[in-house]
Amino acid sequence: MQLLKIKTFLLAGFMSLVACQNANNTQTESSAGQTAAKDSTSKPTKTVLFFGDSLTAGYGLDDPATDAYPSVIQKKITQEGFPYKVVNAGNSGETSAGGRSRIDWVLKQKVDVFVLELGANDGLRGIPVATTASNLQSIIDKVKAKYPNAKLIMAGMQIPPSMGVSYAKQFRDMFPKLAVKNDMLLIPFLLEGVGGNAKLNQADGIHPTAEGAKIVAGNVWSILKGVL
């Protein structure tokens, strides 16, 4: 229990992913609709894998299987008729180091689109940005090595300014840098429009509600639908 308490706290204390005034460069790719064959019988043959922490896992939601943002994405995919199946590989409280250890296990299944959503817990624990960056790089390397044809998406993250301005900036800049370096698509800020808004977050103030998760899904969808 004590440990679970710690864990929960760390989730609560460290998972504060909050919006800042961020230039809203929505890179809306408008190539989607066309491929959307209305054939509802076509079976999903390809996989979108969300690899992340509690935000992906849907921590604290009543029914993560329908409310977490990857589940919302699945619904959209089905609606639009894309032949993709969503796999939620979110693990609450996970850091980039944990992700690096876990990735091999997760990559046992075939991946066509890989969404990387990790690092928030590192940022809230004050782990040096260089460490986090190198862990994320290892994860990307492993995905590329195993599935060279997979499309990679990086979910950008920010930490609250109370963590200190220079650290917060270094942290925020890490994601675009990694995305560019590895030729990945970038979701500029996963929690855009949700972070910092009390109504869209759970009582802990950091994990999105079901309503918030829909907005998060929207942020992801605007990038994701381009690669499907």
Partner 1 sequence: MSTASDHTNLSRPVKWSWLFTMAWRDSRRNRSRLFLFISSIVLGIAALVAIYSFGYNLRADIDSQAATLVGADLVISGNRAPDKQIQPLLDSLGDSRSQERNFASMVYFTKSNDTRLVQIKALQGEYPYYGSIETTPLQASTDFRKGKYALVDAALMQQYKASINDSLKIGKLTFKIAGILNQAPGQTGLAAGVAPVVYIPMQYLDSTGLLGNGSRISYNYYYKFNGKTDVDKLADGLDDRLDKNSLHYETIQTRKDNTGRAFSDLNRFLSLVGFIALLLGCIGVASATQIYVREKVASIAILRCLGVKASEAFLIFLIQIAGIGLIGSVIGAFLGAAVQLVLPVVFKDFLPFEITTTISWVAVGQGIILGIIVSVLFALLPLISIRNISPLNTLRSAFENATTQRDPFRWLVYLLILGFVVGFSYLQLQSWQASAAFTAALFVAFLLLTLTALLLMRVIKLVMKASWSYLVRQGFANLYRPNNQTVILMVSIGLSTAFICLLIFIQALLIKQVTLSTSGNQPNMILFDIQTDQEKGVLNITKSFKMPVLQQVPIISIKLESVNGKTAASLPKDSTADKMRRAYGYEYRVTYRNFLTSSEKISEGKWIGEAKEGEDVPVSVDERLARRLKLKLNDKLVFNVQGTPMNTYVASFRKVNWNKVQTNFQVVFPNGALEQAPQTHVLLTHVPSSGVSAKYQQAVVKGYPNISIVDLGLVLTILDQILDKISYVIKFMSGFSIATGIIVLIASVRISKYQRIKESVLLRTLGGSRKQILVITALEYLFLGALSALTGIVIAIAGSWLLAKYSFEIPFQVSYAPAGILFGLTVALTITIGLLNSRGVLNRPPLEVLRSDT
Contact flags string 181-220 toward partner 1, x per CB under 8 A: --------------xx-x----xxxx--------------
The residue from 36, 127, 144, 222 that contacts partner 1 (CB under 8 A) is 127
Tokens of 183: 């030729």
Tokens of 77: 């995919």
Instruction: Specify whether the CB–CB gap between 141 and 1 falls below 8 A.
Output: no
Instruction: Tell me if residue 101 falls in helix, strand or coil.
Output: helix
The whole-angstrom separation of Cα 53 and Cα 15 is 9
Respond yes or no: is residue 204 known to be catalytic: yes
Contact flags string 73-112 toward partner 1, x per CB under 8 A: --------------x-x-xxxxxxxx-xxx-xxx-xx---
Instruction: Specify whether the CB–CB gap between 48 and 112 falls below 8 A.
Output: yes
Q: Which residues contact 47 (CB under 8 A, 6 or more apart)?
A: 84, 85, 86, 87, 109, 110, 111, 112, 113
> Whose Cβ is closer to partner 1: residue 180's or residue 203's?
203
> Whose Cβ is closer to partner 1: residue 27's or residue 131's?
131
Gap between the terminal Cα atoms of the chain: 43
The residue from 28, 31, 42, 65 that contacts partner 1 (CB under 8 A) is 65
Residue with tokens 């260089």: 130
Q: Does the footprint of partner 1 cover residue 23 (CB under 8 A)?
A: no
Q: Specify the stretch interacting with partner 1 by CB under 8 A; choose among 16-24, 144-152, 178-186, 209-217.
A: 16-24
State the residues that interact with partner 1 by CB under 8 A: 1-7, 9-10, 13-14, 16, 18-21, 57-59, 61-65, 87, 89, 91-98, 100-102, 104-106, 108-109, 122, 124-128, 131, 135, 158, 160-167, 195-196, 198, 203-206
